[in-house]
Every structure is written in structure tokens, then in C-alpha cells.
Amino acid sequence: MNDESSWTRRAVLGGVTGLAAGTLIGVDAAAAADVGELAAPHIIPCGNWGARPPSEPVTLVRRRPAKLIIHHTVTANTGDFSRKQAKRHARQVQNIHMDGNGWRDTGYLFIVSRGGFITEGRHRSLARLRGGDDFVLGAHTTGQNDKGVGIALEGNYDVSAPIPAQQWRSLVRLCTFACRSYRIPAKQIFGHRDFSATACPGQRMYRRIVDLRKEVRGRL
């Protein structure tokens, strides 16, 4: 089996304890919307998108992560923004990581589809995120897997294709919730290339890391 910590961009080539909005008494609609932005985003768990079981038990890192690390999956920039496509893509990535790389499960902890649907990547990642005390050891960034949460965007952002608005909104919500749950400051959001010799998360997404930090900071 390949060493999961030796993740490179080839991994994908070839192919929340939530703050519920609840009943808001004496709060105007704008304030209610703000609370909604802070609420846990809906994340499709492994059991709901047809994930295969891990080939070996996943490992927990018994502390909070210190950062979020953004990736792209280098898959097609599909125009299919459906929930069905998000599930199909999650299976595609898992198959690449398990069958192509020999890893025990998906390397990322979460994936955001081009349609804005969020899927749990590696098993148990969602439960640990909701708990806020520890996280799952992934296989997404060499030397950083025991320090950061790997979040991937469906698509290839080395090219000129724009990041769909719904995908960006879901990324901001997921990062906001992860930062709040794990007490991570927004400045600790990075791109994969900050730690490895790789083009990931693509030039177009990497240019927006500053925007991502700013939007998350504004919501925390």
C-alpha cells in the first residue's frame, strides 16, 4: 500500500454541533439570515452517497486541527449541478483514492460539489467536525494531514472556468462552521500549494484564498 501521507496532485488526476436557527422571536429577517449563515451546513454523510467501507479503520487525531487546507479534485468542470452528481463525484474520488492510490478511504475530509452540495469524504469526518474536539487523519497534504482539515472543490481550477456561485457559498459556509467548531482563526485557511510543490487548488481558486479568509472572518 502507498503511504497515505505522500499525497500529491496525481491523487485525483485521471479522472456540524450546529447553531440552529430555531424560532427567532423579535429578530428581523436580516438578523435571521445572519444566524442561518452561521448554522451548520447540510453535509451528505458517507452512508448517503454510497461510500465503500474503508479498507482499514480510519485514524483519529486526538486534538483539534490548526488549519483548513483547500484543494481541487482536477475532475471535469461539469455543468451538472445536481445532488445526484455530487454523490457520483464523491464515489469517483473515493475509487481513485482507494483503487488508484491504494489508500484506505477518500483522502479529503469533505468535498464541495460544483452545485454546492457538500459530501463527507473520509468516514467519521462529519461526526468529529460536529464534536469539535478532534478530527480524522486524512491523506491530502504531505506533512499536514495530522494538522489540518482537507476540503476539496469538485472541478479543475487551473483553467479559466469560474468557480460557480453556489459552490463558493457552500465552501464559505463549510469553512465558517469548521473554523467555529474547531476554534480555528480564518487566517489559518490555506491552499494545498502553500505546503507542497503542486498547482492545487488551481490558480483561479488560489487567488481567492484571501477572499475566502475575509468572508469567513466576517461571519465568525
Angle at 164 between CA 160 and CA 165, to 5 degrees: 135
Q: Per residue of the chain (220 residues), what is the pLDDT tens digit?
A: 334 544 434 344 433 333 333 333 333 433 334 445 557 899 999 999 999 999 999 999 999 999 999 999 999 999 999 999 999 999 999 999 999 999 999 999 999 999 999 999 999 999 999 999 999 999 999 999 999 999 999 999 998 889 999 999 999 999 999 999 999 999 999 999 999 999 999 999 999 999 999 999 999 9
Tell me the pTM: 0.85
Look at the chain and count its residues: 220
Angle at 126 between CA 124 and CA 127, to 5 degrees: 70
Which has the closest alpha carbon to 176: 112, 114, 124? Answer: 112
Residue 169 has a pLDDT of 98
Residue 100 has a pLDDT of 97
Domains annotated for the chain, with CATH where assigned, are: 9-15+43-219 (3.40.80.10)
Q: Which amino acid is at 210?
A: V
Residue owning grid cell 482537507: 150
